[in-house]
Amino acid sequence: MDKPDINGALGANAEERLSITADDIKSKAVSEKIAQENAVSEEKADIDAEKSSDGQKKLSDMEVIEHTANIWQYKEIVDDKTEMHSEFHQKRIEKPFGEIIGARVRGKKHKHEGSNCDDYFETAATDDCFIAVVCDGAGSKKFSRIGARAASEAAVSFLKEKTSELFRDLPAIRDGLCADLKSAEFMAACGRIALIVRQSAREAFSAQQKALGKIAYNADYQNVLGRKPALSDLSATFLAAVVIPLVIGGKKQNFMACVQIGDGCICAVDLNADAPACVKLMGEADSGRFSGETDFLSEKNTDNNAIGAKTRVSRGSSDIIMLMSDGVADDYFPAAPMMERLVLDLGLNGIIPMNGELSAGEDPAPIRFHSVSMSRQSFALQYAKQLLPDSSPDAINALWNKRAALRCHSLEAFRMNIGDTPEERLRVWLDNYNERGSFDDRTLVVVRLKNHD
């Protein structure tokens, strides 16, 4: 969750800012100056590419991305004798009623600096539901990755145990979730699931406290900080969801209960619905008192009153439920209608199935950029925004509404593949798609229900 002060980095005067135009995009001097600015270089290039007072051609998104993609360097994680995160993580769970896939990758800024990924996610499934938790450690806190991992693992373990107990001890809970939305039976069943999800946030915070106890007096951790670690050093956001498949009147639906503390996004998408009704937001990003701030797990944010306001429930026919850290959510902001473009990107790159006839690939072709990795291996990816006449909500909605005709633009149509499994393709895509000003860790969990298969 790295949010640099871009205005401060650029300086107060326009003359102090780096100016890039089409005529000097290949200039060595420009490249060196951008590289010196390190983590904010891409943001600066993005902002200044929009400015051209002398009438020179402004750079397109792709021109800026192509240039800045070559600037980022890859460094292995520096071992400071504290708990390290792996470079990436991917996971998939299949059930008769659907699948849940997830992946996280180290952001370009962390790769450039040789520092750890701060994101973490965990998933689980029972015979009755899917469970997902995504946590994003505070970028300014040295050990936030530890807090993110502790919170994710504890919350998912708790949710799996409690939902299993609930469906075992109270079989009628499913009938209650299928009852009329205004009935006492539905309200009671809904309340039981929502309560468990709210309690998972408190379990997550408790796990952070326990994790602090394990490192507070460890000399290696004290050496990194120059002091004893505090609970704030483990700060992380918290996004959780329980998704329960249902059959109501012979039709497949689902019930979901979600809680969100901090930024990121939780949303549900109905693949059979046209825009804009296809997207339903299930979480709202919390912000602090100042711009760029976000809330984290804390005693205050997990008490009964606060957590109740951060909990949402829904019943409907959505096929796709997504939880993501701000590293993805910010690239697809605002969520309405940009979640439509995200789902299209997932389909075009083979992460979720696409409907429609498969034919030979039609232009625009997939795009390949340099990869920020040890091998510098590049991957060709398809971008839904290439198919848009402009970035307006109307254009995105119109593209979504003709989604059945887009398979000809997919990697599959071009006989390209970025992985052998959905979770591998998700991880490769997260690690390699390019957006202007995007350099944070990325985590995305996708629940795909077989509502219309």
Q: How many of the other CB atoms lie within 10 Å of CB of 153?
A: 18
Q: Which residues pair with 383 in a beta bridge?
A: none
Alpha carbon separation from 367 to 13, 352, 381, 383, 450 (Å, rounded): 36, 19, 5, 8, 31
Kindly state whether residue 436 falls inside one of the protein's structural domains.
no
Whether residue 97 is found in the same domain as residue 168: yes
**List of residues 6+ apart from 323 with CB closer than 8 A:** 121, 132, 133, 134, 239, 240, 241, 264, 265, 266, 283, 444, 445
Q: Residue 319 is encoded by which pair of tokens?
A: 């096929």
Q: What is the pLDDT of residues 344-402, one digit of tens each?
A: 999 999 999 999 989 999 999 999 988 898 888 889 999 999 999 999 999 999 999 99
Closest residue by Cα to residue 115 from 147, 74, 72:
74
Q: Residue 386 is encoded by which pair of tokens?
A: 């290439």
Residue at token pair 């997939």: 366
Whether residue 65 is found in the same domain as residue 94: no
Residue 213: burial class (beta carbons within 10 Å; 0-12, 13-18, 19+) = exposed
Whether residue 13 is found in the same domain as residue 143: no
Kindly state whether residue 181 falls inside one of the protein's structural domains.
yes
C-alpha 272/C-alpha 450 separation (Å) is 12
Q: H helices within 227-329, ranges in order?
A: 304-309, 326-329
Edge-first strand order for the sheet with 88-95 is: 88-95, 98-105, 442-449, 320-324, 265-269, 279-281
Whether residue 160 is found in the same domain as residue 63: no
Q: What is the pLDDT of residues 399-420, one digit of tens each?
A: 999 999 999 999 999 999 999 9
C-alpha 305/C-alpha 327 separation (Å) is 29
What pTM, to 2 d.p., does this model score? 0.88
202 DSSP 8-state letter: H
Kindly state whether residue 235 falls inside one of the protein's structural domains.
yes
Residue 81: burial class (beta carbons within 10 Å; 0-12, 13-18, 19+) = exposed
Whether residue 31 is found in the same domain as residue 147: no
Closest residue by Cα to residue 272 from 394, 405, 401:
401
Whether residue 104 is found in the same domain as residue 186: yes
Q: Which residues pair with 133 in a beta bridge?
A: 122, 240
At 56 the pLDDT is: 63
Kindly state whether residue 134 falls inside one of the protein's structural domains.
yes
CATH number reported for the structural domain that contains residue 262 in this entry: 3.60.40.10
Q: Which residues pair with 93 in a beta bridge?
A: 100
Q: Residue 61 is encoded by which pair of tokens?
A: 């998104």
Q: Residue 21 is encoded by which pair of tokens?
A: 């135009």
Kindly state whether residue 350 falls inside one of the protein's structural domains.
no
Strands 265-269 and 311-316, by their bridges, are unpaired
Cis bond before residue 364 (omega within 30° of 0): yes
- The total number of structural domains in the chain stands at 2
Whether residue 203 is found in the same domain as residue 63: no
Alpha carbon separation from 66 to 45, 52, 154, 245, 435 (Å, rounded): 11, 19, 41, 43, 10
C-alpha 252/C-alpha 267 separation (Å) is 19
Alpha carbon separation from 285 to 19, 156, 249 (Å, rounded): 33, 21, 35
Kindly state whether residue 309 falls inside one of the protein's structural domains.
yes
Whether residue 38 is found in the same domain as residue 160: no
**List of residues 6+ apart from 55 with CB closer than 8 A:** none
Edge-first strand order for the sheet with 311-316 is: 119-125, 130-136, 238-248, 251-261, 311-316
Residue-wise over 12-33: b if at least 16 C-beta within 10 A, else e?
eeeeeebbbbeeebeeeebbee
Strands 379-381 and 88-95, by their bridges, are unpaired
| Domain boundary, last residue among 16, 41, 69 | 69
The domain in which residue 37 lies consists of: 6-69
Kindly state whether residue 356 falls inside one of the protein's structural domains.
no
At 373 the pLDDT is: 86
Alpha carbon separation from 206 to 7, 83, 163, 203, 260 (Å, rounded): 37, 19, 19, 5, 17
Whether residue 153 is found in the same domain as residue 269: yes
Whether residue 95 is found in the same domain as residue 41: no
Amino acid identity of residue 276, one-letter, is: P
Q: Judge whether 188 and 158 are in contact, CB under 8 Å.
A: no
Whether residue 138 is found in the same domain as residue 280: yes
Per-residue pLDDT of the chain (453 residues; tens, 9 = 90+): 654 332 332 233 322 222 233 333 333 333 333 333 444 444 444 444 444 445 566 777 777 887 777 788 999 999 999 999 999 999 999 999 999 999 999 999 999 999 999 999 999 999 999 999 999 999 889 999 999 999 999 999 999 999 999 999 999 999 999 999 999 999 999 999 999 999 999 999 999 999 999 999 999 999 999 999 999 999 999 999 999 999 999 999 999 999 999 999 999 999 999 999 999 999 878 654 444 568 999 999 999 989 999 999 999 999 999 999 999 999 999 999 999 999 999 999 999 999 998 999 999 999 998 889 888 888 999 999 999 999 999 999 999 999 999 999 999 999 999 999 999 999 999 999 999 889 999 999 999 999 765
- State the angle between helix axes of 335-348 and 393-401 in degrees (0 to 180), rounded to the nearest 10: 40
Kindly state whether residue 341 falls inside one of the protein's structural domains.
no
C-alpha 318/C-alpha 244 separation (Å) is 11
Whether residue 156 is found in the same domain as residue 50: no
Q: Residue 186 is encoded by which pair of tokens?
A: 């539905």
